[in-house]
Each structure stands twice: as C-alpha cells, then as structure tokens.
Amino acid sequence: MPFNIQAERERRTQLAKDTRNLLDTSTGNGNTWTAEDQKKYDDNVSEIERIDAAIERHQKVMDLTADNAMRERGARERGDDDAGGGNKPSNEMRLFDRWARGGDSALSAEDWKQVNAAMSGNPALNPEQGGYTVPTTLAEQILDALKAYGGMRQVADVFRTAGGEPMQYPTSDGTSEEGEIVAENQSATDADVSFGTKGLQVYKYSSKVVTVPWELLQDSTADIAGFIERRLQSRLGRITNRHYTLGSGTGQPMGIITAASVGKIGGVSALPVITYDDLVDLEHSVDASYRAAAKWMFHDDMLKLVRKVKDDQGRPIFVPGYEQGNPGGAPDRLLNRDIQINQHVASPAAGAKSIAFGDFSYYKIRDVMALTMFRFNDSAYVKKGQVGFLAWMRTGGNLIDVGGAVKTFQHGAAA
C-alpha cells in the first residue's frame, strides 16, 4: 500500500492526543497509574517514534523531488522568463544567481542599479574589493533559517541594529525589595536602588570559504544560489548557536549556560541520572515571576532520560506533542511546560550542566544588519578549477538578567 504521509500525520496526532488523555485521566479522584496504563503509554510512544521516522524518510524524498523540479524550472526561467508558470524566483535572487556564476562582469550597469537598490546596507563596504552586501531577500532568508540550527534563536529575543557600536543594558535586581507601612507623621525609609549594566557586543563571524567547482557553475540546471545559501546557513548557524549556548563572553558571545547560575545539583551517581525531584527543584529555583513564560532546554540525549522519569504516582512526566508549529497543535511538554531541544547543551555526564530552565527571552541576540559576501576567482582557486564564496555576519548575545530568569541543572560527581 502506498505511504500516505497525511494519513500517518493524522494517526500520529490521534496517538499523541490519546496519550495525553491517558495521563490526564489518571490524575485526581483517586485514579492510579496501572500496569495497563504504562503498557499503553509505552506502545503509543513507540508507535509515535516509528511514524516520525517514516514521515522523515518520505519527507526527504519529497524535498529532493521538489528541489529537482525547482532546478528544472529555474533553468527554463533563465532561458525564458515566461516559461515555468508561477512561483518564479525573485529578480534579486536571479541577479544573485547570475553573479555567483559569472562574477561582477556578468551583471550589466542596469543590473548593478537593481543590486544596489536591494542591498541590506553597509555604506562602508568597498565594492572594488569584490565584497557586496547580500540582497535583502537572501539575507533575511539566511538569518531566519539560522533558527533551525540549535534552537537559541527560537526562544531568545532577537533584534537587529544598523550599526555595531557598543550597547549597554541597564540592570537592577528588585526581587528582594518591598515597601513598608508608615505610621502617621513618620518618614518613609530610604531604600536606594542599585543599578548596573550588561554589555551586548557583536562579533564578526565568517562562514569559511565555500568552494564551488566550475562544472557546477556551468551547469544551467544546478541551483547555485540555493547551494550557497544552504551552506552559509549551516556553517553560520552552527557556530553562532554554539556560542549563544556555551560562549565564554571573552572574544565571543556570552552563552546562556555560561551566564545562568546553577539552580540544582544532582546526586552522586555512577551513571548520569535525572529524577522527578531534580526537575521540580530546578523549576522552583526560578522565581515565580519568571516562570509564566518559562521553558526547558536540553540536548536530545537528555530527552531520552527525561522520557523515563516518573512522578511519585508512577506516571511518566513526558507528554508527547502533535503537529508542532501548526495551528491547533501542541508541542512536547515536561511538567506542563514547552521543551526546546538544543544540541549544543551538554549531554548528560558527571558534572555537566545539561538542562536550562526559565524565561529565555531575557537572552538577547543582536544582529548587525549587513550580511556581506565575497566571491574569489584568483589563482589559488583557478588552479583547482574552483570559485570561492565567503560570507561575513556580525552578531552577539548575552543574558541580560540579574534576577535569575534562567537556571541550570548540574549533574553530581561520578560515584
């Protein structure tokens, strides 16, 4: 029978809803979690995993088929702008593709007028050196796609500035301050507020040089712009997410794990473990005023451990999600809070900080609005039959918080 991806998604959604209902109906009114409940939970989660794997395999085939169709349509459009129907690439992207294949000389004077009008902005750039800010359309696509590489951009507060000048955030911790009752004809007590600052510096990142062989550039059906775009996304996305997560703050952004204080240290154990009590203690180490928008963040290896954790009634505390990202859907939940997987958070290990919990909007990511690309066809590349492409971006991040909006869990020492 042919694989019906929509039917499988609907079946997965129903399984996830049944599992959530199973957990919900076992709470309150003296209901207990039985061996039959556990078996049904395990069977449902196992089947959800199988469906997820099958959908991922078929989705990859569908994506490859779509990519091939787009390349063929792109070839027709480059030969005839009226061919291929709708969903044509934008004029900016066609110009970018032409520049990537043929360099500066491939664009006419009129083309350069359009390019200059579409730039994301960097007046200090020297075009005679071969560097140009990427057209706004492509720049926004790349920055938006960076969200897929690790997760920090999905939960942090991301904003852009036109320049990279130093930026200081004022800070003040008022979590322990309160007012007073004043008797008649008595003076109010002084309680001066202490202020500080936290910097949000930006750093210059490169994609490293992406080399493209002449044969690919000369292949009219190859999606050169798409190939370059994907490589830029993956290289810049991985290094920046690593620093947003684990950065030292010296010569690189301050990472969320580095900046956050430890809210709970696990017990000494021969193997890394996480208990229900550990999670509850970590959750309550964050002040209640920050918990309304709080989430969990950890590596996928930690998710394996979490899925085995049970509450004091023997019920699994992990609740599978369904149709994530779609209206009406629900994400995976842990103690009734959303989960963000970040593969740069440490895997469970003795002494490792493997979980972050809190309101991640207090982590600020700042992008300078200029993504710059260079094209190289000098002798170092010509002798290898290649053309090189290099992208630069400027970005930084820091946890702008002094009240403990995010806390971490640290495993205890090995036994």
Q: For residue range 41-96, list pLDDT tens digits in order.
A: 889 888 888 888 888 788 777 766 766 565 555 555 545 444 444 445 566 667 77
The answer to which of 130-134, 204-208, 394-398 has the lowest mean pLDDT is 130-134
pLDDT, tens digit, 9 for 90 and up, residues 234-288:
899 999 999 999 999 999 999 999 999 999 999 999 889 999 999 999 999 999 9
Q: Give me the pLDDT at residue 376, please.
A: 82
Q: Give me the pLDDT at residue 81, please.
A: 45
Please give the structure tokens belonging to residue 343: 């593969």
Higher-pLDDT residue of 67 and 299 is: 299
**Mean pLDDT in the chain?**
80
Residues 161 and 369 sit within 8 Å (Cβ to Cβ)? yes
Any idea what DSSP says for residue 134? P
- Calculate the alpha carbon distances from 150 to 58, 123, 300, 344, 357 in Å: 23, 32, 11, 7, 16
Amino acid, single-letter form, for residue 99 = W
Residue 234 lies in a domain: yes
pLDDT, tens digit, 9 for 90 and up, residues 10-39:
888 888 888 888 888 776 555 788 888 889
Residue 180 lies in a domain: no
pLDDT, tens digit, 9 for 90 and up, residues 335-384:
989 999 999 999 999 999 999 999 999 999 999 866 777 888 778 887 88
Whichever domain contains 214, its CATH number is 3.30.2400.10
Residue 178 lies in a domain: no
Residue 191 lies in a domain: no
Chain centroid, CA 177 distance in Å? 35
Residues 188 and 101 sit within 8 Å (Cβ to Cβ)? no
Over its C-alpha atoms, the chain yields an Rg (Å, rounded) of 26
pTM: predicted TM-score of the whole model, two decimal places = 0.76
Number of domains the chain is built from: 1
Residue 266 lies in a domain: yes
Residue 316 lies in a domain: no
Domain span including residue 360: 96-171+196-299+342-415
Mean local confidence (pLDDT), 206-229:
79
Is residue 123 scored above 50 in pLDDT?
no
d(CA 117, CA 140): 16
Please give the structure tokens belonging to residue 396: 């930084």
Q: Give me the pLDDT at residue 46, please.
A: 87
Q: What angle do CA 332, 237, 61 make, to 5 degrees?
A: 65
Residue 409 lies in a domain: yes
Residue 232 lies in a domain: yes
